[in-house]
Amino acid sequence: MTTTSVVAPRRRGAALLLGAQWMRYVSQLLGMVVLARLVSPAEFGVVALAATLAGFAAVLGDFGLSMAALRAPTLSAAQRTLLFWTNTAIGILATVLVIAAAPPFAAVYGNPFLVPVLALLAPAFALRSMSAQFRVELNRAGLLGRLAAAELAGDLTGLVAAIILATLGGGALALASQGTIAAGLTLVITAILTPWRPGWPRRGVDMRELLTFGGHTFVVHALNYVSGVTGTLAVGRVANESTVGLFSRATQLVNLPIDQLITPLTRVVIPSLVDATGAPLQQRLTKYQTVLSYPVLAYLSLFAVTAEPAIHVVFGGRWDDAAIYVPVLAVGAVFQTLGYPQYWAFVATGRSDLLLWCEATGRILMIVLVVTAAGLGPFAITVAMSIGQVVLWGAAFLLLPRAGVSSVALLSASGRPVTVFAIAAGVASLIDLSFFTPLDPLAQLLATGGVWAIVVSAALALVARRDLRSLWGAVRRR
């Protein structure tokens, strides 16, 4: 029986995947700017509310099987086929459930327009589930360039279609169609570029280990999803659609670089960690902690201190009130970023049980905090979400040694970037409040950003020269 083994990604393939992901990041950022000029905050709020329900289809449609298949040392032909059909069936079921739940969901929020929005969002999840095993096959075979091309083409097509529809007055429906169009094209391209083809499913295939790991991962992702959307749902209950749109835009802007980096990095990192134990595993995780921390924390630090003028200049005056949420969300995002190497460690070592305990502790507390804070308004909800991220990181810090990985070593690797960008944010904020607030938004953005850059340059030279040499060496080797 034919089997496939995990192929550790070559540097060129990993560079192509990460490069394509940065192109996706830039295109999404530019798309957000264009769509913000074409679609109102209230219409964004409607789509954000709809996405809280539709997003569960994404979690259910995968059922954790993609991660289980990605980390499995070998997969038989029968297992690969059964994974494809299982993902497809679950994705179709999830899509049907979302469409069926649309009318009562719309009734709860008193907005019948949520029904057609959900009808456009829902098919994306069936399409993504159908493409899941094709993407895993490309990843396991080390064909990361093909995977990057398929996903980039899908995203760009969906974005262009959304902009065209928004220009024609599509509003919320234009936003809702973007993901479905992207998912459809990605499915077609990955199916064409993948040498493997699924057969018909057979009985008696050993799926116990895959289903056990996938089940734990599914519960983790479900908790992640519920805790993530609880904030939006809570804001939707205590405020109008415009406030939901502003809150959602702030959350999206803060998380955008994290979302764009984590998916490709996980695809590169997990295969490289599967066969590592002891000191080599620790060394690789420490390196990944450093590589991830510098670019993401730099963005979070800069955006936190320039949010008000940056949002006004880039998105327009009607989005100004989104800036109030950014600094608090950025604090939570820092701990979320520091937690991803912990997540990779649990997955690579097969300790999905420990991962589940960490996520259950932090996510349930986050949900309780958000629900409790809802009566105090959207800003209090934001604070509760960030506290939850800190608890999540702390729980993983305590349990990670049981997976054979040193939490202290990972914390040490993140210490220098955290120090550099915390100092830069503090100094730039203080000078901004003291001198730059009276300036017009563009001048304030340039002045505060300039101070931030000067402080970062000095701090890097003082405390992070070794990290910079290591990062530069990694770039040159690629």
Evaluate whether 144 touches 267 at the Cβ level (below 8 Å): yes
> Is this prediction's pTM over 0.75?
no
pLDDT tens, 31-54? 877 888 888 888 888 888 888 776
CA distance readout (Å), 166 to 114, 318, 461 = 17, 17, 46
Q: How many CB atoms lie within 10 A of CB 100?
A: 12
Per-residue pLDDT tens over the stretch 343-357: 888 877 777 778 878
Placement of tokens 């460690």 in the chain: 345
Sequence-ordered list of residues with C-beta below 8 angstroms from that of 441, at least 6 positions apart, any chain: 308, 309, 312, 313
**pLDDT at position 329:** 93
- The low-confidence residues of the chain, meaning pLDDT below 70, are 1-22, 25, 54-73, 206, 211, 213-217, 267, 274-278, 468-478
For residue range 399-446, what is the model confidence (pLDDT) as tens digits? 888 888 888 888 888 888 899 999 999 999 999 998 988 889 999 999
For residue 456, what are the contacts with CB-CB under 8 A and spacing of at least 6?
Answer: 298, 301, 420, 421, 424
Q: Where are the alpha helices (DSSP H) in 39-122?
A: 41-62, 65-71, 77-109, 114-121
∠ CA(55), CA(58), CA(64), 5° rounding? 135
How many Cβ atoms are within 10 Å of 206's Cβ, its own excluded?
Answer: 11
Give the tokens for residue 80: 């690969």
Q: What angle do CA 58, 137, 357 make, to 5 degrees?
A: 50
Residue with tokens 């308004």: 377
Count the neighbouring beta carbons within 10 Å of the beta carbon of residue 109: 17
Could you say which DSSP state residue 436 is in?
I
* DSSP letters spanning 358-398: HHHHHHHHHHHHHHHHGGG-HHHHHHHHHHHHHHHHHHHHH
Separation in Å, CA 331 to CA 263, 296, 478: 21, 12, 32
Dihedral-angle region of residue 10 (phi above 0 means left; psi in -120 to 50 means alpha; beta otherwise): beta
Task: Read off the amino acid at residue 132.
Answer: A
pLDDT at 425: 93
Q: HSE (CB half, 13 Å, CA atoms) of 290?
A: 19
Whether the CB-CB separation of 351 and 403 falls below 8 Å is answered with yes
Q: Could you give the angle at the alpha carbon of 94 between the alpha carbons of 93 and 100, nearest 5°?
A: 90
How many Cα atoms are found within 13 Å in the side-chain-facing hemisphere of 75? Answer: 27
Listed residue (260, 267, 276, 201) closest to 69, CA to CA: 267
Can you say how many angstroms the Cα of residue 451 is from the centroid of all Cα atoms in its chain?
A: 29
Going by their DSSP bridges, the two strands 3-5 and 74-76 should be labelled as antiparallel
Rounded Cα distance between 345 and 188, Å, is 33
CA distance 77 to 84: 11
Cα separation, 353 vs 403, in Å, equals 10
Exposed, middle or buried: residue 279 (CB in 10 Å: 0-12, 13-18, 19+)?
Answer: exposed
| Nearest alpha carbon to residue 224 among 370, 56, 372 | 56
